[in-house]
Amino acid sequence: MHFDIGRTAKRLRWAVWIVWAGIVLAYLFGRLGLETDFLRVRSRVDDSATGPIMVIADATIILLSIALYHLSRMLGAIGDGDLFSARVVSAFRAFAFWLLLVALVWIAAPIAAAVIEGPDDARHIELRFQLRDVLTVGIALILFLVARLLERARTIDEEMREIV
């Protein structure tokens, strides 16, 4: 049983690395304006976007990379046979934390950028929330609950080993 979970975790870790590399490469292509005959990356932000908007995008990619690194650490530990170890729980908790930071940056950074740049009308600031932002915050918070469940499973596993 542990062998199947470990093998699946190793496969998922490779998938995370591949997706992570794809995200970073696509971002770099778009950020640097690189194009090939078969690949053209465009963002929803116009090509003249500079300043706070690009800083937000850069920060998001960095935070997402940190989150995926911790997810990769967790999957590696599970692949090594640790199911409920402190290493797995801490890596999973770190993944949830950094994913939550990504979501909070998506929500708070555009507001901060609008305040810094100053709105067209000094008495009017428009706040926009996307469903993606709210869902990501909710999922990250649920991941914290899952981390607590993993921690509890670890203590039960340790108690069971003491009994036997």
Does residue 111 have a pLDDT over 90? no
Three-class SS state of 35 = strand
From CA 162, how far away is CA 7, in angstroms rounded?
Answer: 27
From CA 131, how far away is CA 83, in angstroms rounded?
Answer: 33
Q: Over the stretch 148-157, which tens digit does the pLDDT of each residue have?
A: 888 888 888 8
Distances (CA, A) of 1 to 4, 33, 46, 81, 148: 5, 48, 51, 11, 23
Contact assessment for residue 71 and residue 15, using Cβ atoms and an 8 Å cutoff? no
Q: Over the stretch 54-87, which tens digit does the pLDDT of each residue have?
A: 778 888 899 999 999 999 999 999 988 887 788 8
